[in-house]
Amino acid sequence: MSTNSSSAGDVRRVAFIGLGNMGGPMAANLAKAGHVLSAFDLSRSACDQAAAAGLEIAASAAKAVADAEVVISMLPASRHVEGLYLGSDGQPGLLPGIRPGSLVIDCSTIAPATSRRVALAAAQQGLSMIDAPVSGGTAGAAGATLTFMIGGEEEALTRARPLLEAMGKNLFHAGAAGAGQAAKICNNMLLGILMIGTSEALALGLANGLDPKVLSEIMRRSSGGNWALEKYNPLPGVMEGVPASRNYAGGFGTDLMLKDLGLAMESALATGAATPLGSLARNFYALHSAEGSGALDFSSIIGRFHHAQN
Ligand code: NAD
C-alpha cells in the first residue's frame, strides 16, 4: 500500500450526487462512518428521503461540490454522468467547479468509453477520477457490503479506499480508467442471463407441481446454485425482503438491466466477442420493458414464464 494512503479514521467532505435506490443508502453509510456529506438529486422525493435519513441536501449539484474534497456520483446511465460532469444542452458541467486536487468517484454503471472520456476531462482540470461501479444490489448498498470494480490509477484508488470501505467490503482494481465498467458489464450480462435461466427452471418446476420453496432449496444446494437462488429469488413467497416479496418494487429496475445488456452488446460489437445468450437476454428484458415492466425489479422477468397470481 502506498504511503499517501488515508487512514480509515480520516473525515472527508464528500459531495454525493444521485440519491436513488443505491445512492441513498450508500450516502447514508458514508455519513454513518463520520464523513461530512453534502448531497443532491434532481428528484425531490429522493432528496426528501435522504434528508429524512439525516443527510444534508444542497440546493444544486454545483453547490454540493463547491467545498468537497471528494465527489461521488451514482446516476442511472452514461448520458447522466456525461451531462453532470461535462455539461449538456448548453449547461456547463460540474468539473470546473470542483476544487483542483479533489477526487471524483463515479459508481454508476456506464459505458467504459464514457468513463474514460470523463476521467480524461477530470485529469485536465487537475482532478483524479476512478470508475467504481458496484455489485450487491440495494441490500448490499444498505448493509455496506457492496463489491466495487475499480478502474483508474492506483494512487486515486488508495485515496478512495477508506470511503469505498465505508460502503462495501470487496474492492477489486480491474485496471486503467474504464476497466471497472468493463468488468461490471461482464458481471451484469451473466446476472441478466442467470435470472432468466433461474426463472425458467422455477417455472418448469411449478408446472410439474413442485413446491417453490423446496425446489429453490434443492437447486440452491445443487449444481444449479447461483446468486438469484441464494439472495434474490424471483418467485414471490420464497424469500423475505427481496423485490419479489413486494411486487417487484425497488431493487434493480428492468430498464437498468436493459441498459447494462445494451452496454454488453456495444462492447461485444466493438471487440467482435460472441455473446449469443447476452443478446437473447437483452431481447427478453426489452420485451418485458416494452410491455410496461421497465420500472419493476428485473427479477419480475419470471412473469414471462409463470404468472404468480394464477
Ligand atoms: P435510481 O434510478 O434509483 O437512482 C438514480 C438517481 O439519480 C435518481 O434518483 C435520479 O433522480 C438521479 N439523477 C439522475 N440524473 C441526475 C443528475 N444530473 N443530478 C442529480 N441526480 C440525478 O438508480 P439506482 O438503482 O440507484 O442505480 C444507480 C446506478 O447503479 C445505475 O447505473 C445502476 O445500473 C447501478 N446499479 C444499480 C443496482 C441496483 O440494484 N439498483 C445494483 C448495482 C448497480
What are the cell numbers at 203?
Answer: 417455472
Residue whose CB lies within 8 A of the most ligand 1 atoms, among 16, 22, 115, 195, for a mutation test: 22
pLDDT, one tens digit per residue, over 207-242 is 999 999 999 999 999 999 999 999 999 999 999 999
Q: For the chain, what are the domain ranges?
A: 8-177, 183-304
CA of 77 to the centre of ligand 1 (A): 8
- Whether the CB of 24 sits within 6 Å of ligand 1: no
What are the cell numbers at 290?
Answer: 416494452
Q: Are the C-beta atoms of 129 and 84 separated by less than 8 Å?
A: no
Stated as kind and residue range, the H or E segment containing 9 is none
Nearest to 222 by CA among 230, 234, 232: 230
pLDDT of res. 307: 76
pLDDT, one tens digit per residue, over 255-269 is 999 999 999 999 999
Determine which residue's CA is closest to atom 14 belonging to ligand 1: 75
Q: Count CA within 13 A, CB hemisphere, residue 171.
A: 21
| Residues carrying an active site annotation | 184
- Whether the CB of 43 sits within 6 Å of ligand 1: yes
- Show the low-confidence residues of the chain (pLDDT under 50): 1-8, 309-310
In sequence order, what are the beta bridge partners of 135? 147
What's the distance, CA 126 to chain centroid? 26
CA of 23 to the centre of ligand 1 (A): 7
pLDDT of res. 308: 59
Residue whose CB lies within 8 A of the most ligand 1 atoms, among 21, 89, 184, 242, for a mutation test: 21
Determine which residue's CA is closest to atom 21 belonging to ligand 1: 41
pLDDT, one tens digit per residue, over 291-301 is 999 999 999 99
Q: How far apart are CA 31 and CA 51, in angstroms?
A: 12
Nearest to 81 by CA among 135, 18, 156, 36: 18
Determine which residue's CA is closest to atom 9 belonging to ligand 1: 20
Q: What is the DSSP letter of 235?
A: S
Using the CB atoms, write b or e for 215-230: b if 16+ within 10 Å: bbeebbeeeeebbbbe
- pTM for this model (two decimals): 0.92
In sequence order, what are the beta bridge partners of 149? 172
- Whether the CB of 80 sits within 6 Å of ligand 1: yes
Q: How far apart are CA 297 and CA 284, in angstroms?
A: 14
- Whether the CB of 254 sits within 6 Å of ligand 1: no
The residue type at 27: A
pLDDT, one tens digit per residue, over 167-184 is 999 999 999 999 999 999
Q: Are the C-beta atoms of 254 and 301 separated by less than 8 Å?
A: yes
Report the CATH number of the 183-304 domain. Answer: 1.10.1040.10
Task: Please state which CATH class domain 8-177 belongs to.
Answer: alpha beta
Q: How far apart are CA 257 and CA 255, in angstroms?
A: 5
What is the maximal distance between C-alpha atoms in the chain?
A: 63
Stated as kind and residue range, the H or E segment containing 147 is strand 146-151
